[in-house]
Amino acid sequence: MESSLHITRGGSLTARPLELRWYAPSGVRAHAPQLMLRLADGQGMLADCTGRGELSRRQRSLAAAVGEICRAVGWRYWVLGPVDPVYRRNVSWLAGYRHPRYHGGQLLAAALQEAFAEPAPLWEGVRRIGDPLVVLPALFHALWARRLAADLGAAMHERMPVWAQAAE
């Protein structure tokens, strides 16, 4: 089973189920990392995410073993800390607007790019374009699709600066 997700123009992320099994003095151990990536340079990378900032002794032992296995085959291994709760809430909110039906069409997309060519407060840019009930879903979709950008590490509000992403 394999699934792909488009993440940037011209790039993709492919996820594959993977389980590592190895022999330890205590017997056979196994671990299924949460993410396996193949980087642009061909190098493999495994990653696990922790819900807490500090790992338990068991988690540290497991991370050490997986890290050793990865180094032995020339891969990287990362243990990622918890996601900032404000960032997670913002991305979760924007995910509700990921469907293409929220795009709003080429004219509205162009108007958003023009209104936010320079950083501007969200509400100010929206009001310059037109009806907020029409513009806001398209703006949230553009933020999700990364055509527009904002500091998602801070709480979203009507005065938050929004700007157009540089063309790739």
CA distance 5 to 125: 31
The amino acid that residue 113 corresponds to is: Q
Model pLDDT for residues 103-161, shown as the tens digit of each residue: 999 999 999 999 999 999 999 999 999 999 999 999 999 999 999 999 999 999 999 99
Residues whose CB falls within 8 Å of the CB of residue 99, separated by 6 or more in sequence, listed in order: 141
Domain ranges of the chain: 3-80, 85-164
Q: Taking 60 as the threshold, does the pLDDT of residue 92 lie above it?
A: yes
Q: Taking a C-beta distance cutoff of 8 angstroms, is the pair 37, 13 a contact?
A: yes
- Write down the pLDDT at residue 6: 38
Structure-token pair, residue 61: 């032992």
Options 3.40.1350, 3.40.50, 3.30.390, 1.20.120; which CATH number does 3-80 get? 3.40.1350
Split at pLDDT 50, 70, 90, the class of 2 is very low
- Write down the pLDDT at residue 15: 59
Indicate whether this model's pTM tops 0.75: no
Q: Taking 60 as the threshold, does the pLDDT of residue 50 lie above it?
A: yes
